[in-house]
Amino acid sequence: MKKGKLPMKKDILTLLDLTEKDMEDLFRLALSLKAEKRAGRLRSTLSGKSLGLLFDKPSTRTRISFEAAMIQLGGSPVFIGASESQISRGEPARDTARVLSKYLDMVAVRTFSQDLLAEFARFSDIPVVNALTDRYHPCQVLSDIMTILEKKGDYREIKITWVGDGNNVAHSWINAAAVLGLNLTLACPEGYMPDPQVLQEARRRGKGTVTVTDDPQAAVSGAHVIYTDVWASMGQEREQAVRKAVFQPFCVNEALVERAAGDVIVMHCLPAHREEEISASVLEGARSVVWDQSENKLHMHKAILLKWIGGL
């Protein structure tokens, strides 16, 4: 068998590629890895392995957490920026995928098009992980649910409320609800709701509850988790002014948070625009778990690497 190729290649293009057991295994392993790191213990399981990071979009947390995860596990990350690959000069994704499969053990791709990612994965002999597309952000939500498990002890018997744009992170939350059976409510303005096809597929699976509303105050009532994100994602900067006006009632501020459960936690995947989608007082306040949430990307990415190319 070719070095670095597992008996069965498994990609993470969306969270629907994972089973409930896959996710539960990742949560357990990530929490264990976090405890090990805090105790000063690091594994060298991935010595001699390499992770490609093929990124078309800017990144701080996703890039650095994947790089640090690979290094701390004894492996080597290889970053390939948009302007540094031949894809930027018109090479088909399938050609790049076949070549990188000869060099690397896994590729994390951060790009605009989900279709491009899917084509890349079809022609890749090594696992491909979605490090963000315009449609989904699966690894982000895995680390988010790990955080909820860490803070709440469970993620099934609580109400999780998304407030803001029905974007790629929201789509991955909908996917997660369908796999894990979550109680998920999404509050989004009219015209900025999640994609109906994403909702339809989640509801077709008949697991969990996904509710969509345009009333953020009703949505957060009794919520144990409030989650928000920027109002204009990468590539939507020209819409910023229009979106800012539309989304004003969806700011996660003190007044909105007070409508939630008394033990509510507030999450944001960052970067945050203070006094837009979230107030500074909430972001920096006692209910915020944003910084733990950000840290947990490192540990979740380690878990993915160990499971997918470490043979655990």
pLDDT tens for each residue of 244-269 = 999 999 999 999 999 999 999 999 99
Q: Hey, what are 276's tokens?
A: 């837009």
8 A C-beta contact, residue 252 and residue 163: yes
Give the mean pLDDT of 76-88.
Answer: 89
E runs forming strands in 82-171: 106-110, 128-130, 159-163
* Residue 121 falls in which region: left (phi positive, over 0), alpha (psi -120 to 50) or beta: alpha
Q: For 87-112, how does the pLDDT look when each residue is reduced to its tens digit (9 = 90+)?
A: 878 899 999 999 999 999 999 999 99
Look at residue 3 in the predicted model and tell me its pLDDT. 44
Contact 214, 150 (CB under 8 A): no
pLDDT digits (tens, 9 = 90+) for 137-187: 999 999 999 999 999 999 999 999 999 999 999 999 999 999 999 999 999
Give the span between the Cα atoms of 27 and 17, in whole angstroms. Answer: 16
The burial of 125, by beta-carbon neighbours within 10 Å (0-12 exposed, 13-18 middle, 19 or more buried), is given as middle
pLDDT above 70: percentage of residues in the chain: 98
Indicate the pTM of the whole model: 0.95
Map out the domains of the chain with their CATH numbers. 15-136+296-308 (3.40.50.1370), 139-293 (3.40.50.1370)
Q: Is 262 exposed, middle or buried (0-12, 13-18, 19+ CB in 10 A)?
A: exposed
Sign of CA dihedral 144, 164, 113, 182: positive
Rounded to an integer, the average pLDDT of 279-301 is 98
State the Cα–Cα distance between residues 242 and 283, nearest whole angstrom. 24
